[in-house]
Amino acid sequence: MSTTKPRLGGDAPIQAHAAARLDWVRILTWFLRGLALLALGRGLFHWAVICGFQQLDGVEFEQLAPGLQTATVFFAVIELVAGVGLWLTAAWGGVVWILATMVALVIDVSAPMGMQGWVETAGRPPLASAGDVALVLIYIVVATMAARQIDQGSAD
């Protein structure tokens, strides 16, 4: 029996050190998991409003305008669905999350433009809207970089 270790590299060239590169697939996975926790938290907040544990502007769910009730139920369902899809890193999770975010941004933009009724009260603070826009832009960048990494064949 030989006491020498077998060579793993064969005819591979000798390199001083491998270039340290970001693992975009792993970054995307952790980013999606973080978004999932955010979406699940938002969805649970909406369910807390529906179940009466939380109030919107001091008003119980049953006393809200029908449009605001509908929006609350919509976000209660879609945020949880998006959260599950994002946690599983499924493609449909990102699509559902972007859909929910775009609907929220349309409501946020419509509120200061003079839309009367429930839209006026459903609008969120500008900082929340800016945060959503930033998250969507970060998602686009990270997903694009992960896709490029996979196309180059350097993903695990």
Residue-wise pLDDT tens digits, 21-68? 889 999 999 999 999 999 999 999 999 999 999 888 788 999 988 888
**What pTM value is reported for the model?**
0.79
Q: Which helix (H) or strand (E) holds 152?
A: helix 126-152
Say how many CA atoms lie within 13 Å of 98 toward its Cβ. 10
Phi, psi of 113 (to 5 degrees): -85, 10
Per residue in 64-117, pLDDT tens? 888 889 989 999 999 999 999 999 999 999 999 999 999 999 888 887 766 656
Q: What is the model's pLDDT at position 44?
A: 97
Q: Which residues pair with 56 in a beta bridge?
A: 59
